[in-house]
Amino acid sequence: MKLTPCSKRSWMVPVVALALVAAVTAPVAAQASAGSPSATADTTRGPKPLKWGTGAWTFGAYTGQFNDEPEWQPDGRADQLQRGALFGGRIGYNFPFNLFLQGEASNSLLRTVLVTGDRSRNTNLFLLGGVLGYNIQPMQNLQIFPEVGVGAAIFKPTAISSETQLAFLYGAGFRYFVSPKLALRGDVRWHQIPNAMRDIRDRLAGSAVPHPDLWGLELSGGLSLFVGGPSDADHDNVDDASDACPDTPRGYPVDMRGCPLDDDGDGVPNGADQCPGTVSGAIVDQHGCALDTDGDRVPNGVDQCPATPKGATVDDRGCPSDADRDGVYDGIDQCANTPPGATVDARGCPSDTDGDGVYDGIDQCPGTAAGQKVDDRGCPPGLIILKNVPIRLDQLGVYFNFNRATLRPGSSVALDLVGQALSQMSDVEIEVQGYADAVGSNAYNLRLSRRRAETVRDYLVQHFPKLDASRFTVKAFGESNPVASNATPAGREQNRRVILVVGGGSM
């Protein structure tokens, strides 16, 4: 084999070194990206991941193989160093600004083969020197670095005195941290030793042997232990020395002080908050989710009407709305747009007890007889009174309170219609008949029915000047002549009545 000139080999140094480092570190980087606790950390507002190993002393041990291929072939003679195992140690310091400086010592046991017929010899190669490198840290637990160095190469063949030569180092490597203080390390290096074994080869093979550079390839791996530098017991990327919240649960995003972030201010840190973005002021559970006792989608603490019925439509304060003001909330109201004043049921629908088409609550004559035409007040328009035809005032909406001679609210509307009609009838006599239900004694009911008849007479006389009291006759019938059963409240209400009978006179 012919000698390969140094000039042709030197360009391969960085290319081969970088290619080997890429091949070795690719699976490591992939694993680190998937498993590193800081790989998915949000660093947009919080601290950046701590760079493990920076600002620390490092101590390491390594082993590998030293591969050498120099051959000397002057005048048909050849010498060759064969590869051998390598063992070494290092001590250094990693600066905070990515540079590192270290001292190394290693030993390789090589074999020297002398083609000229001399026997082969074992050769110890001692490498001593300093190395300068630059850390590229793509993730918290991975460093990739180029490195250069200079030192001494000491050759010690068997039974021959040693020789020391200047040596240079070019290479690249990686550190993969299994913990903040311990890393796996791998290196790919080219060792350039000009005039390697010059004196030794001259003695063994003759003084005419040229002295080309020796290029040795080192492949090594080992462990690195770090002393000092940043520490982070709670893994929040804030150095323990400046961590204001040193016991933050693992995985919680933190601020620059190392304290858990709480973006929505609900008292539950982002790392535990299962409902981020909770509205300000809302009361939340231990998971950070807003409580809503009445289920109206306005959280407790914000809800100003915390006992809203289920299904009611609410505003942004959590208070129900009632567009038609009927007392039944929107969302529950099945009859929206109820006219103001109408009496409604639980569904929000108006009732019409007398069936005259005018809702209860608006109907000013709520007892209108079935089929009777009414005006928009629910009262018969232009009441017509015929002589000798009894008029039941309860059918016009005149009612009395139980066990009383007082009129119920709303009765005055019907009495006003009666008074207006009677005022148009001159000189007629008006008989007012009072009745009661069967509750109580007959004597008591007789007196009660008289007082009720007198109440009607007095109202008409007081409110209509044309109706003189002398034209009225009051008669009491007590509980006699019932028009409905006294066994039910509705029947008793009909029996508490007053009847008008007009006779004589002219229209």
pLDDT of residue 353: 85
Could you tell me if 401 and 411 are in contact, meaning their C-beta atoms sit under 8 angstroms apart? no
What is the domain count for the chain?
3
Considering the domain architecture, whether residues 276 and 203 belong to the same structural domain is answered as no
Same domain membership, residue 219 and residue 86: yes
Instruction: For residue range 483-501, list pLDDT tens digits in order.
Output: 999 999 989 888 889 999 9
Within-domain flag for 32? no
* CA–CA distance, 259 with 47 (Å, rounded to integer): 11
Query: Structure tokens of 409?
Result: 């609210």
Residue 79 and residue 165 in one domain:
yes
User: Does position 30 have pLDDT exceeding 50, yes or no?
Assistant: no
Residues 207, 108: one domain?
Answer: yes
- Phi (first) and psi of residue 33, to 5 degrees: -65, -35
Residue 64 lies in a domain: yes
CA distances from 8 to 2, 5, 54, 272, 274 (A): 13, 6, 38, 61, 63
Distance CA 400, CA 407 (A): 5
pLDDT, residue 339, reads 92
Q: Does 268 share its domain with 194?
A: no
Together in a domain, 264 and 143: no
Domain boundary, last residue among 270, 304, 338: 304
- CATH number of the domain that residue 455 is part of: 3.30.1330.60
Which of residues 246, 281, 304 is at a domain's end? 304
Supply the pTM of this predicted model: 0.49
What b/e sequence results for 379-402 when a residue is b if at least 16 CB atoms lie within 10 Å of its CB, and e otherwise?
bbeebebeeeeebbbbbbbbbbee
Same domain, 98 and 221: yes
317: in domain = no
- For the cut 50, the answer to whether the pLDDT of residue 155 exceeds it is yes
Q: Establish if 159 belongs to a structural domain.
A: yes
Last residue of a domain, one of 206, 228, 250: 228
C-alpha–C-alpha distance, residues 299 and 282, integer Å: 6
The answer to which of 96-100, 110-114, 141-145, 332-336 has the lowest mean pLDDT is 110-114
Q: Are residues 217 and 265 in the same domain?
A: no
Residue 447 falls within a domain, yes or no? yes
Same domain, 201 and 93: yes
Shared domain check, 291 and 188: no
Q: Which helix (H) or strand (E) holds 495?
A: helix 489-495
Is residue 45 in some structural domain?
no
List pLDDT tens digits, range 44-84: 566 777 778 888 999 999 999 988 655 544 444 445 566 78
Task: Give the structural domain span for 223.
Answer: 55-228
Write the burial class of residue 408 (CB in 10 Å: 0-12 exposed, 13-18 middle, 19+ buried). middle
- pLDDT single digits (tens) 382-420: 777 878 889 999 888 888 888 889 998 888 888 998 998
As a whole number, mean pLDDT of residues 361-365 equals 79
CATH number at residue 88: 2.40.160.20
Largest CA distance in the chain: 169
For residue 249, is it within any domain? no
Confidence band of 14 (pLDDT split at 50, 70, 90): very low
Q: Span 17-42, mean pLDDT? A: 44
**Domain assignment present for 336:** no
174 and 283, same structural domain?
A: no
Q: Is the domain of 204 the same as that of 117? A: yes
